[in-house]
């Protein structure tokens, strides 16, 4: 597999790799190459998109039951089946939903999907610059940060390198929330990786130009600092409030939902 230029607009993007992994068609050859290489290197990788997607749906339903009526999906990726706005508007048709992604292809696809949905939009912005999201005019036009908001970050912070300070990104969104706001998060943990798998993961990230950092349970829990975790806490994604039988967890994704007091 050739090394990819991170500045190539047709190079692999995490949103399109994910799209291919869940059976989507909005991806390029470079994205498919990375996805297939990941599965070859880590067989469990084929299950991760499903774990992540199912966790997202359960978390959004939980937030709706908790009374949340506006949602900010940071790092949304490409549209698929059962998108956030579809789940939300099935319960609260007027609830604002804003999708955010740094991949312009993902944003264009969401904008096309949402052209006749006045309560939802998509913006091109980067989680590495949270203030650029929080102050974006298309975000503030729909999201009122003086009221509780559900911030969704599903497999996002793992794509930030340590020097890009994922804790600061999570902290910026927590700080912006009014009391009663929630953070729903699912991310990659390193607690079950062997040394060989850690090395292989770093090599794959280097060659593809798509960063992916596995972090400890303690660091992921730190993203919720000062918030109250809903039961059952921070757990493997399939074990978070399951609504049907599930396959044994891969042990690679931790998920949780917390409320700002």
The answer to whether 140 touches 72, Cβ cutoff 8 Å, is no
Domain that holds residue 182: 47-259
Strands (E), the chain: 71-74, 97-101, 120-124, 150-154, 182-188, 228-229, 235-236, 253-259
Check residue 48 and give its pLDDT. 85
Check residue 202 and give its pLDDT. 77
Is residue 15, in this structure, part of any structural domain at all?
A: no
Is residue 195, in this structure, part of any structural domain at all?
A: yes
Is residue 245, in this structure, part of any structural domain at all?
A: yes
Instruction: Quote the number of domains for the chain.
Output: 1
Is residue 231, in this structure, part of any structural domain at all?
A: yes
Check residue 4 and give its pLDDT. 40
Label residue 24 by pLDDT band (50, 70, 90). low
What average pLDDT does range 23-45 have in this prediction?
63
Q: What is the mean pLDDT of the chain?
A: 88
Is residue 40, in this structure, part of any structural domain at all?
A: no
- Is residue 18 pLDDT above 60, yes or no? no
The two tokens of residue 16 are 């399109």
Label residue 5 by pLDDT band (50, 70, 90). very low
Residue 72, CB-side half-sphere exposure with 13 Å CA sphere: 31
What average pLDDT does range 243-248 have in this prediction?
91
Is residue 27, in this structure, part of any structural domain at all?
A: no
Is residue 9, in this structure, part of any structural domain at all?
A: no
CATH code, 156: 3.40.50.150
Is residue 224, in this structure, part of any structural domain at all?
A: yes
Q: Which residues contact 216 (CB under 8 A, 6 or more apart)?
A: 189, 190, 191
Reported as a single tens digit per residue, the pLDDT across 85-105 is 999 999 999 999 999 999 998
Label residue 8 by pLDDT band (50, 70, 90). very low
Reported as a single tens digit per residue, the pLDDT across 169-226 is 999 999 999 999 999 999 999 998 888 777 777 776 776 677 889 999 999 999 999 9
């Amino acid at each position: 597999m050739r090394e990819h230029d991170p500045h190539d607009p047709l190079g692999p993007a995490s949103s399109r790799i994910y799209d291919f992994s869940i059976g989507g068609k909005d991806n390029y050859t470079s994205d498919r190459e990375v996805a297939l290489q990941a599965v070859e290197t880590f067989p469990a990788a084929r299950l991760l998109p499903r774990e992540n997607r199912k966790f997202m749906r359960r978390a959004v339903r939980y937030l709706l039951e908790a009374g949340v009526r506006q949602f900010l999906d940071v790092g949304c990726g490409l549209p698929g089946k059962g998108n956030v706005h579809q789940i939300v508007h099935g319960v609260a048709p007027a609830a604002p939903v804003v999708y955010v992604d740094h991949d312009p292809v993902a944003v264009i696809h969401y904008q096309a999907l949402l052209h006749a949905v006045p309560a939802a939009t998509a913006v091109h912005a980067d989680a590495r610059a949270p203030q650029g999201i929080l102050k974006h005019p298309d975000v503030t036009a729909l999201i009122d940060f003086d009221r509780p908001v559900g911030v969704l970050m599903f497999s996002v912070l793992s794509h930030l390198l340590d020097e890009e300070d994922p804790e600061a990104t999570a902290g910026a969104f927590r700080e912006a929330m009014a009391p009663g706001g929630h953070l729903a998060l699912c991310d990659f943990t390193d607690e079950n990786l062997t040394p060989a798998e850690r090395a292989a993961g770093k090599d794959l990230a280097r060659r593809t130009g798509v960063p992916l950092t596995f972090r400890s349970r303690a660091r992921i829990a730190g993203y919720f600092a000062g918030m109250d975790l809903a039961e059952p806490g921070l757990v493997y994604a399939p074990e978070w409030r399951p609504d049907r039988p599930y396959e044994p967890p891969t042990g690679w994704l931790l998920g949780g939902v917390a409320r700002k007091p």
